[in-house]
């Protein structure tokens, strides 16, 4: 029987099904879709490909143990202590083996507990305990640095503890068990505790920073996550040979993802702001796709393109928050969508538009219902803002 590995990957809320489709396409396995994440199991031999191949996901964790139907205690302190005493029941040998597929450490990492762990792990610190420099005075360079992280969600039941409480006890328990070095920022191993209602599971982090930062080195105040750009392109089902255009490219997140992942296409992008175009050029060059992109300074309301030329428009519209204003959007949106309709191929053309100004967008689509058909609307979380992605077809 082939050795399998279970993953949990975080996804921008709203794009979970899109990410599950990517996993199905690339690994031929089904995913469990949860709010803000997907879970899937693949052979260990393909584990490295998760980070290399999947473009729709932000952070990746390897799941080691599940504790279902967890019985909680009546008090906060007793619950926290329960999670601390759970640590010896975790398969740390497997955790370290799987972690080592993605990361390295100059010394062998012993999965066996340090002497005296039984007594240390039973000590119940106060809830207001804070880690201090004293805890790391015995720094041992032969042992890894770690941090304990907790993600908690209570959908069907109430918890009498906070994520921060569990994080302290869980991390403190690991320190008691292994005598590993504590480092919350420059850690080697991220040990993660997940609590979803009464389902408790434990994993280790694969990614040390979110994959949405890939390719971008020149940021703007409205830089779009690369993972959002990819998911928007994926919604369009881009076919080989089609012309793909981002008419308001900003820092270039969408054009970069389009160029890298749909290489048999013609790619165009542009913006009216020269400063943003400069950032876009820097990012396109950094991603190694500058030679594949035709980039222009233009006005989205007067594109220098012939009628029925573009197959797919994908763009991040001004929200009217950090860029532009909501008052201006009422003039910009109708003009922009009318011009995109002129340039977009009739019947087969598509557009995928992101905006937080949903009221203005819906009014515009109602006004231009003879040009565009709204096929799908996906609510997404963009930097804490409740935005929406609109997938349209040209009539």
Domain CATH number, residue 138: 3.30.2130.30
Query: Domain boundary at 155, 172, 206, which?
Result: 206
Task: Say yes or no to pLDDT of 88 above 90.
Answer: yes
Residue 284, pLDDT score: 94
Q: Within a domain: residue 128? A: yes
Average pLDDT, the chain: 91
In 3D space, the residue among 82, 66, 59 whose CA is nearest the CA of residue 159 turns out to be 82
The count of other CB atoms within 10 Å of the CB of residue 308 is 15
Read off the pLDDT band of 383 (50, 70, 90): confident
Q: Are 51 and 57 in contact (CB under 8 A)?
A: no
Q: Is 208 helix (H, G, I), strand (E, B) or coil?
A: coil
- Give domain status of residue 240, yes or no: yes
Q: Which of 89-98, 211-220, 256-265 is least confident?
A: 211-220
Q: Do 238 and 382 have their domain in common?
A: yes
Give tens-digit pLDDT for 341-359. Answer: 999 999 999 999 999 999 9
Residues 202 and 219 in one domain: no
Q: Is residue 30 part of a domain?
A: no
Is the pLDDT at 364 greater than 70? The verdict is yes
Residue 19 lies in a domain: no
Residue 319: alpha-carbon gap to chain centroid: 21
Listed range (30-44, 69-83, 338-352) with the worst mean pLDDT? 69-83
Residue 39 lies in a domain: no
Domains: count for the chain: 2
Residue 150 lies in a domain: yes
Residue 244 has pLDDT above 70, yes or no: yes
Question: Given a cut of 80, is residue 4 above it in pLDDT?
Answer: yes
Residue 380 and residue 254 in one domain: yes
Please check the confidence at residue 2 and state whether its pLDDT lies above 80. Answer: no
Q: pLDDT by residue (tens digit) across 258-299?
A: 999 999 999 999 999 999 999 999 999 999 999 999 999 999
**Do residue 306 and residue 388 come from a single domain?**
yes
pLDDT at residue 217 in the model: 86
Give yes or no: residues 372 and 246 share one domain.
yes
- Among residues 206, 233, 257, the one where a domain terminates is 206
Distance in angstroms (rounded) separating the CA atoms of residues 35 and 240: 32
- The reported pLDDT for the residue numbered 134 is 46
Instruction: Give residue-wise pLDDT tens across range 139-170.
Output: 889 999 999 999 999 888 899 989 998 998 99
* SS3 category, 65: strand
Question: What is the predicted pLDDT for the residue at 135?
Answer: 52
* Other CB atoms within 10 A of residue 244 CB: 23
Position 138 scores a pLDDT of 72
CATH number assigned to the domain comprising residue 340: 3.40.50.150
Note whether residue 384 is domain-resident.
yes
**CA dist., res. 387 & res. 389, Å (int):** 7
What confidence score (pLDDT) does residue 214 get? 83
DSSP string, 322-341: SSS-HHHHHHHHHHHHHHHH
236 and 157 share a domain?
A: no
Measured at the alpha carbon of residue 201, what is the angle toward residues 186 and 209, in degrees to the nearest 5?
A: 30
Whether residue 300 sits in one domain with residue 234:
yes
Shared domain check, 295 and 187: no
Domain final position from 206, 231, 247? 206
Reply yes or no on whether the pLDDT at 133 is more than 50: no
Q: What's residue 324's pLDDT?
A: 61
Does 230 lie in the same domain as 363? Answer: yes
Q: Within this chain, do residues 328 and 188 fall inside the same structural domain, yes or no? A: no
22: Cβ contacts below 8 Å, ≥ 6 apart? 54, 55, 56, 234
- CA 277 to CA 337: how far, in whole Å? 21
Q: How many CB atoms lie within 10 A of CB 82?
A: 17
pLDDT at 128: 59
Q: What is the C-alpha separation between 29 and 13, in angstroms, rounded?
A: 21
- Are residues 176 and 287 both part of a single domain? no
Q: Same structural domain for residues 67 and 149?
A: yes
Q: Which residues contact 364 (CB under 8 A, 6 or more apart)?
A: 333, 334, 337
Range of the domain at 316: 214-394
Q: Is residue 44 part of a domain?
A: no
How does pLDDT run across 313-328, given as a tens digit for each residue? 999 999 755 556 788 8
Q: Which two tokens stand for residue 218?
A: 């020149």
Longest dimension (CA), the chain: 76
């Amino acid at each position: 029987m082939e050795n399998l590995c279970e993953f949990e990957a975080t996804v921008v809320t709203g794009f979970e099904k899109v990410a599950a489709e990517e996993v199905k396409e690339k690994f031929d396995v089904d995913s469990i879709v949860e709010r803000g994440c997907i879970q899937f199991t693949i052979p260990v031999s393909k584990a490295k490909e998760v980070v290399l191949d999947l473009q729709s996901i932000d952070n990746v964790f390897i799941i080691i143990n599940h504790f279902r139907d967890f019985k909680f205690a009546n008090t906060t302190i007793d619950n926290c202590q329960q999670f601390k005493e759970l640590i010896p029941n975790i398969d740390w040998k497997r955790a370290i083996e799987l972690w080592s597929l993605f990361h390295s450490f100059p010394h062998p990492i012993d999965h066996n507990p340090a002497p005296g762990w039984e007594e240390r792990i039973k000590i119940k610190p106060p809830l207001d305990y804070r880690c201090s420099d004293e805890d790391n005075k015995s720094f041992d360079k032969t042992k890894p640095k770690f941090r304990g992280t907790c993600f908690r969600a209570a959908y069907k039941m109430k918890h009498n503890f906070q994520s921060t409480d569990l994080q302290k006890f869980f991390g403190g328990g690991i320190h008691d068990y292994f005598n590993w070095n504590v480092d919350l920022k420059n850690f080697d191993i991220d040990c993660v505790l997940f609590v979803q209602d009464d389902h408790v599971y434990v994993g280790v982090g694969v990614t040390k920073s979110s994959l949405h930062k890939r390719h971008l080195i020149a940021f703007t105040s409205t830089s779009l996550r690369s993972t959002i750009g990819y998911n928007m392109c994926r919604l369009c089902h881009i076919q080989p040979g089609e012309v793909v255009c981002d008419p308001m490219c900003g820092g270039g997140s969408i054009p970069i993802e389009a160029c890298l992942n749909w290489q048999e296409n013609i790619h165009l992008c542009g913006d009216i702001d020269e400063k943003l175009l400069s950032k876009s050029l820097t990012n396109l060059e950094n991603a190694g796709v500058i030679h594949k992109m035709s980039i222009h300074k233009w006005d989205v309301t007067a594109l220098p393109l012939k009628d029925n030329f573009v197959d797919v428009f994908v763009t991040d519209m001004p929200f009217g928050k950090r860029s532009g204003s909501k008052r201006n959007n009422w003039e910009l949106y109708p003009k922009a969508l009318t011009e995109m309709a002129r340039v977009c191929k009739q019947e087969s053309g598509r557009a995928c538009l992101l905006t937080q100004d949903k009221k203005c967008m819906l009014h515009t689509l109602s006004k231009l219902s003879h040009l565009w058909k709204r096929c799908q609307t996906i609510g997404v979380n963009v930097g804490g803002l409740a935005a929406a992605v609109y997938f349209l077809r040209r009539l």
